[in-house]
Amino acid sequence: MNSRTRRVALAAVAVGALTAGLTACGGDSLEGKDDSGGSGGGKGKVVIGAARFTEAKVLGELYRQILDDAGYDASVKTVENREIYEPQLAKGAIDVVPEYAATLAEFLNLKENGAKAKPVASSDVDDTVAALRKLAEPKGLKVLDAGEAVDQNAFAVSKDFAKKHKLKTLSDLGKSGEKVKIAAGDECETRPFCAPGLKKSYGIDVTGIDPKGVGTTQAKQAVKNGTDQLVLTTTTDATLENFGLVLLEDDKKLQNADNIVPVVNAKDAGDKKIADVLGKLTKTLTTDDLIELNRKVDAERQKEADVAKEYLETKGLVSK
C-alpha cells in the first residue's frame, strides 16, 4: 500500500496552485522558513528538500551535514509534501532530495501517464530504480544509486500472537488459518498492497479493517490489547517494541522497493562530486539505522541535527 499518513500522497494535484507562493531561486525559502543552515563551504550552495515527517527531516540533516563536511554550503528546506517539492527540484529551487524509489516512481508515473497508468514499481529495487530514472531524466532530475535502507509498508502482530501461532512470515500467518482484523487506514480495504494483496498473495483470512490509521498509537494499541490482530505500519517504525509487537516478514515480496535514494537537479547538482559524497552515506545507511535514528527523535525527543551528527561521526563519514 503506497498511501500512509506520514508520507506524501501519490495523487497528482494542481502544482501551479500549490507552488504559487514559492520562490523560484535556489537558496531562498520555499515557505518562508529556513530550518537549518550549513557551516559554509567553498564548493557552492546546495539546498536540500525534506518533507515534514521525522524520517525525512533526519535524512535531510544527514545530507546537509555530510555535504557541509565535504565543503559545500548546504541548507535544509522543509516542505509539506512531494507535490510541492518535486516541481521545485525540477526547477532548481531545491538541489537534492532524499527520496523513496517506488513511491517517487509511481508519483511521476501518475503525473506522466494518468490514473490508468500501468504500475512501474515492483519489489525489485534495480527494476524500480531503472523505471524511476526513465521517468525522472526528462524532467531534469538525476537519480543516484539506491541503498540498502528501505522504508516499506509492513505488518506487525503482537509477540504473544506470533509465539502462539508460530509466526515469522506473512506466509506463516496465511497457513495458520487465523482470522485477522487489520488496524490500518480505511483505504486498506481496496489497496492492492493491503487487504486484497494479503488475501491473494498469502491466503490470509482478513475479516475486516479497523480504521485507526497507518502505524498510529491507536492502531498499535489495538493489536497489543487483542482488539485487532494485525497492524499496518512501516519497516522503520521505531516504537513497535513499546507495544510488544513484531513485524512479519513479507516473504513473497508483496510490497514495492521503497529504498532510500538521493535525487538531484541534474543541471545544478548532477556532478560526480556530489554523487560521491552522498554515495558514501547511501552505502552505509541501513534500515536498522533508520529505525534507531527515528527512535531517538520520536521516543527520546532528540533533535534531528543532533542524531544525524552523532551517526555520521560514529560511522566516520564526517570529521569530528
In Å, the largest CA–CA distance within the chain is: 62
54-69 and 272-284 helices, crossing angle to 10°: 130
Over residues 137-157, mean pLDDT: 96
- What's the pLDDT at 34? 41
Highest mean pLDDT among 2-6, 41-45, 134-138: 134-138
Distances in whole angstroms, Cα of residue 302 to Cα of each of 183, 217, 315: 29, 20, 19
Rounded CA separation 259/151 (Å): 6
Residue 20 has a CB neighbour count (10 Å cut-off) of 8
Share of the chain above pLDDT 90, in %: 77
- Whether the per-residue pLDDT at 108 is higher than 50: the answer is yes
Cell of 207: 475479516
> To the nearest whole number, what is the mean pLDDT of the chain?
88
Q: What is the pLDDT confidence band of residue 19, given thresholds at 50, 70 and 90?
A: very low
Residue 189 has a CB neighbour count (10 Å cut-off) of 15
- Whether the per-residue pLDDT at 24 is higher than 70: the answer is no
- Whether the per-residue pLDDT at 22 is higher than 80: the answer is no
- What's the pLDDT at 277? 98
Rounded CA separation 258/106 (Å): 11
Q: Are 76 and 50 in contact (CB under 8 A)?
A: yes
Distances in whole angstroms, Cα of residue 41 to Cα of each of 44, 241, 293: 7, 41, 26
Cell of 81: 509534501
Q: Are 129 and 102 in contact (CB under 8 A)?
A: no
- Whether the per-residue pLDDT at 51 is higher than 70: the answer is yes
Q: What is the pLDDT confidence band of residue 125, given thresholds at 50, 70 and 90?
A: very high
Please, which residues bridge with residue 154 across strands? 233
Pairing of strands 205-211, 179-184: parallel
Residue 82 has a CB neighbour count (10 Å cut-off) of 23
Picking from 12-16, 34-38, 205-209, 243-247, which range would have the lowest pLDDT averaged per residue?
A: 12-16
Picking from 13-27, 88-102, 210-224, 254-268, which range would have the lowest pLDDT averaged per residue?
A: 13-27
- What's the pLDDT at 84? 86
Higher pLDDT among residues 12 and 300, named by residue: 300
Higher pLDDT among residues 313 and 7, named by residue: 313
- Whether the per-residue pLDDT at 28 is higher than 80: the answer is no
54-82: pLDDT as tens digits: 999 999 999 999 999 999 999 999 887 78
Rounded CA separation 148/181 (Å): 31
- What's the pLDDT at 82? 85
Q: What is the pLDDT confidence band of residue 13, given thresholds at 50, 70 and 90?
A: very low
Pairing of strands 179-184, 230-234: parallel
Picking from 4-13, 69-78, 138-147, which range would have the lowest pLDDT averaged per residue?
A: 4-13
- What's the pLDDT at 227? 97
Q: Are 46 and 274 in contact (CB under 8 A)?
A: yes
Rounded CA separation 65/51 (Å): 17
- The whole-angstrom distance between residue 46's C-alpha and the CA centroid of its chain comes to 21
Number of helices and strands (H, E) in the chain? 13, 10
- What's the pLDDT at 70? 97
* Whole-model pTM over 0.85: no
- What's the pLDDT at 41? 52
- What's the pLDDT at 202? 98
**Ramachandran region, residue 35 (left: φ > 0; alpha: ψ -120 to 50; beta: rest):** alpha
Higher pLDDT among residues 116 and 157, named by residue: 157
Rounded CA separation 63/269 (Å): 13
